[in-house]
Structure 1
């Protein structure tokens, strides 16, 4: 369960069936909303309402809103909306370990290729680019998420992808998982994983054919 309070516009609503879809303000695909999750609203939702909510992902991979409320129409007697209870330190530690394991798996080939390249050529730039650009890209993601919430000028997706291509994709991956930013937008995810594949294939080619070409 995502513990960050999100917001978006209600772009679809079937009042007779009691459900609709929210378009998140920070981008990504629409989020399902059921009327039962609007427990403290003084009226039923309407199109273009601003909805605040938390996210959960169903077993089928679809995202839905929980603990939601409509901006400006909450009951005055209601206490402030609380964040959903987390699964505790054990669940957080397990998620961190799983994230690190996935990241290391993705980095196996690029780091092996970059280390081999540095050993053969004496050029350490590929090894340096990954950590430096990853930190820079993570900061860009974090800044862009803040800007999205503030509804001010944002970093373009092209800029983020260029940073990922230059070597910052590990930082982008970590930011997507920890900050929940750009992780639900399919078009962005397609381009991001294409960049990851390019890095994997490029280093695989180097490991197989690079030393022969230099010799």
Structure 2
């Protein structure tokens, strides 16, 4: 048998303890009401509120209100996760995973090269330079995007490319993916990937090809 929905007025309410009593509409009984049986509302119960409720008898034979709500008060909307929201969250998770994989792949050879360089030459500069310049380059990307939105003077592309060449290209790559900045301009991307290729080829030569390109580079620098 379906429980009957009843109605009554809240005659007693102890807000600090979270309970009170409802006087039934026919005035024949007082029904105990606990805050936990009220459906979610933006309104705290007050004496005089009209309460709609169903009756429940506990194991000791005492009558309680259940499935109650305050008449005329709108319940809080339930947070429903739509399929589109789930798909969006899944897409964002996949994008983050893809970015992490790409960063790991791109940084693997330079990281190994920089560590090998530090161990063989006792010079830790590359190990320090890469994270510092990457942080600086990411910050410059973020600043440039903010300036673009505000219509202010932009950070020169030459400055960004110089920071990338000095070891900040990984920070630039992350900024392009995360901030969606400078990622669609073809001319910029060409220069950026040339810089990335130079770094990778440099460390590839250092680790596997007898440092021929490194020696050539140092020879040109010393003659200059």
* Same structural fold, with TM-score higher than 0.5 when normalized by the shorter chain: yes
How far apart are the structure 1 equivalents of 2:170 and 2:86? 26
Aligned equivalent of 2:182: 182
Cα distance between partner residues in 1 of 2:128 and 2:186: 30
Written as runs of structure 1 = structure 2, the 5 A alignment for 1:109-124 is 109-124=109-124
What SS class does the counterpart of residue 209 from structure 1 fall into? coil
SS in 2 for 1:97: helix
Q: How is 1:1-12 mapped onto 2 (pairs within 5 angstroms)?
A: none
Match of 1:96 in 2: 96
Question: Structure 1-normalised TM-score?
Answer: 0.57
Unaligned runs of 5+ in 2: 1-83, 216-224
Find out whether 1:201 has 2:201 as its counterpart: yes
Instruction: Look up the match of 1:210.
Output: 211
Deviations along 1:165-186, whole A, 9 cap, x unmatched?
Answer: 0000000000000111000000
User: How do residues 16-35 of structure 1 correspond to structure 2 at under 5 angstroms?
Assistant: none
CA distance in 1, matches of 2:150, 2:180: 16
Distance 1:105 1:152 in 2: 36
How far apart in 1 are the matches of 2:86 and 2:178? Answer: 14
SS at match of 2:87: coil
Specify whether residues 86 and 141 from structure 1 end up closer, same or farther in structure 2 by C-alpha distance, changes over 3 A only.
farther
Deviation at 1:109, TM superposition (A): 1.0
In the other structure, the counterpart of 2:170 is 170
Quick check: 1:134 aligned with 2:134? yes
The one of the two structures with greater contact order (alpha-carbon pairs below 8 A, sep at least 6) is: 1
Q: How big is the shift at 1:105?
A: 0.5
Q: CA deviation at 1:206?
A: 1.1
- Structure 1 position 86, deviation (Å): 7.9
The SS at the match of 2:166 is helix
How many aligned residue pairs are there?
130
C-alpha separation in 2, matches of 1:95 and 1:184? 17
| Structure 1 stretch displaced more, 202-211 or 103-112 | 202-211
